[in-house]
Structure 1
Amino acid sequence: MTQDSAAHRHSTPPLGERTPSPHRSGSALFWWLHLGGWGGVFLVNYFSALANGKPAEYWTVLLAVAMTGCLGTLGLRYLLRACAERPPARVALLMIVPVLLIAAAMALAFKLVTDLGWCGHCLPFTRFGYYTYVIGQLYVVVGWTSLYLVMTTWRKLRMQTEAALAATATAHQAQLKMLRYQLNPHFLFNTLNAISTLVLDRDNATANRMVQGLSAFLRHSLDNDPMQRVTLKQELDAISLYLDIEKTRFAERLRLEIEIEPACWLALLPSLLLQPLVENAIKYAVAKRVEGGTIGLRASRQGERLRLSVVDDGPGWPALDHGGVPPDNAPRGNRVGLANTRDRLRVLYGAQQSFDVRNREEGGFMVTMTLPFETGGAPRE
Structure 2
Amino acid sequence: MAAASSALQAPAQATGARADAPRRLFWWLHIVGWLGYFGLSFLGALAHGKGLHYAMVPAATAIAGALGTGLLRPWLHRLRGRPMPQQLLLSAVPVLLASVLMGAAYIVVLIEYCSDCRPTSQLGYLAYAVSHLYVVLTWLGLYLGLTTYRQLQAESRRLLEANAMAHQAQLKMLRYQLNPHFLFNTLNAISTLILDRDTPTANAMVLGLSGFLRHSLDSDPMQRVSLRQELEAMQLYLGIERIRFDERLRLQTHIAADCFGALVPSLILQPLIENAIKYAVAPRIEGGSLWIEARRTGAQLVLTVRDDGPGCPHLRDDGALPPGNGVGLRNVFERVRVLYGESGSSRASNRPEGGLEVELRLPFELPRRDESLSNANA
Tell me the TM-score normalized by structure 1: 0.89
Aligned twin of 1:344: 335
Q: Which residue of structure 1 lines up, in the alignment, with residue 251 of structure 2?
A: 256
Equivalence for 2:323? 329
Contact 1:276–1:341 (8 Å) recurs in 2 = yes
Larger CA deviation: 12-21 vs 316-325: 12-21
The more displaced of 241-250 and 341-350 is 341-350
Task: Find the residue that maps to 2:91 and give its secondary structure.
Answer: helix
1:74 corresponds to 2:65: no
Distance in 2 between the 1:280 and 1:178 partners?
A: 19
For 2:96 and 2:14, how far apart are their aligned partners in 1? 43
Superposed displacement of residue 17, structure 1: 6.4
**Matched AA of 1:329:** P
Question: After superposition, what is the alpha-carbon deviation per residue over 1:62-100, rounded to whole angstroms, capped at 9, x for unaligned?
Answer: 111001111111121112112113211122222233323
Report Cα offsets for 1:155-183 as digits up to 9, x if no partner. Answer: 11111111122122222222222221111
Select 1:143's aligned residue among 138, 141, 149.
Answer: 138
Task: Say if 1:16 and 1:108 are closer, same or farther in 2 by CA, change over 3 A.
Answer: same
Query: What residue number does 2:375 align with?
Result: none
Please point out which of 28, 31, 42 is paired with 1:32: 28
1:352 partner letter: S
Whether 2:166 is the aligned partner of 1:171: answer: yes
Separation in structure 2 between the aligned mates of residue 145 and residue 321 of structure 1, nearest angstrom: 62
Please point out which of 343, 346, 358 is paired with 2:349. 358
Partner of 1:227: 222
Distance 1:166 1:233 in 2: 33
Deviation for aligned residue 1:15: 7.9
Q: By how many angstroms is 1:256 displaced?
A: 1.1
**How big is the shift at 1:313?**
1.0
State the Cα RMSD in Å. Answer: 2.5
For the residues of structure 2 that align with 1:362 and 1:46, how far apart are their CA atoms?
91
Secondary structure in 2 matching 1:12: helix
Note if contact 1:328-1:339 (Cα within 8 Å) is conserved in structure 2: no
Counterpart amino acid of 1:185?
Answer: P
How big is the shift at 1:289?
1.2
How much has 1:324 moved relative to structure 2? 2.1
Shift of 1:133: 5.1
Which one is further off, 121-130 or 41-50? 121-130
Q: How far did residue 227 of structure 1 move?
A: 2.0
Secondary structure of the residue aligned to 2:271 is helix
Q: Determine the structure 2 residue equivalent to 1:185.
A: 180
Matches within 5 A, 1:42-53: 42-53=38-49
Aligned residue type for 2:323? N
Matches within 5 A, 1:1-381: 11-14=7-10, 18-115=14-111, 117=112, 119-120=113-114, 136-325=131-320, 327=321, 329=323, 331=325, 334=326, 336-377=327-368
Relative to structure 1, the CA distance from residue 372 to residue 355 in structure 2 (aligned partners, 3 Å threshold; closer, same or farther) is same
| Local SS of the residue matching 1:18 | helix
Partners of 1:55 and 1:121 within 8 A in 2: no
Query: Is the Cα contact below 8 Å between 1:58 and 1:122 reproduced in 2?
Result: no
- State the secondary structure of the residue aligned to 1:329: coil
* Deviation of 1:136 (Å): 4.9
Paired amino acid for 1:233: R
The alpha carbon displacement at 1:154 in A equals 1.0
- Structure 1 residue 39, shift from structure 2 partner: 1.0
Structure-2 separation of matches of 1:151 and 1:179: 42
CA displacement at 1:13 relative to structure 2 = 4.9
Q: How far off its partner does 1:364 sit?
A: 0.8
Q: Deviations over 1:227-248 (max 9, x none)?
A: 2111111001001100010001
Aligned 8 A contact 2:254 2:294 in 1: yes
Q: Is 1:321–1:359's contact at 8 Å kept on the other side of the alignment?
A: no
SS at 1:278 equivalent: helix
- The structure whose RCO (Cα within 8 Å, separation 6+) is larger is 1
For 1:96 and 1:142, how far apart are their aligned partners in 2?
10
Aligned AA (2:208):
G
CA distance in 2, matches of 1:202, 1:247: 19
| Greater Cα shift, 83-92 or 147-156 | 83-92
Contact 2:302–2:362 (8 Å) recurs in 1: yes
Q: Which amino acid aligns with 2:349?
A: R
Structure-1 separation of matches of 2:228 and 2:179? 23
One-letter amino acid matched to 2:68? G
Question: How big is the shift at 1:190?
Answer: 0.9
CA contact (8 A) 1:42 1:66 kept: yes
- Residue 148 of structure 1: how far off its partner (Å): 0.5
Task: Indicate conservation of the 8 Å contact 1:114/1:122, yes or no.
Answer: no
- Of 151-160 and 132-141, deviating more is 132-141
Instruction: State how far apart, in whole Å, the 1-side matches of 2:312 and 2:202 are.
Output: 34
Q: Unpaired runs of 5+ in structure 2?
A: 373-378
For structure 1, the residue ranges without an aligned partner over 5 or more in a row are none
Checking the alignment, whether the CA contact within 8 Å between 1:46 and 1:62 is kept in structure 2 is yes
Separation of aligned partners in 1, 2:190 and 2:6: 42
Return the alpha-carbon distance in structure 2 between the equivalents of residues 222 and 302 of structure 1.
32
Q: What residue identity is the alignment partner of 1:295?
A: L
The separation in 2 between residues aligned to 1:77 and 1:30, in whole angstroms, is: 10
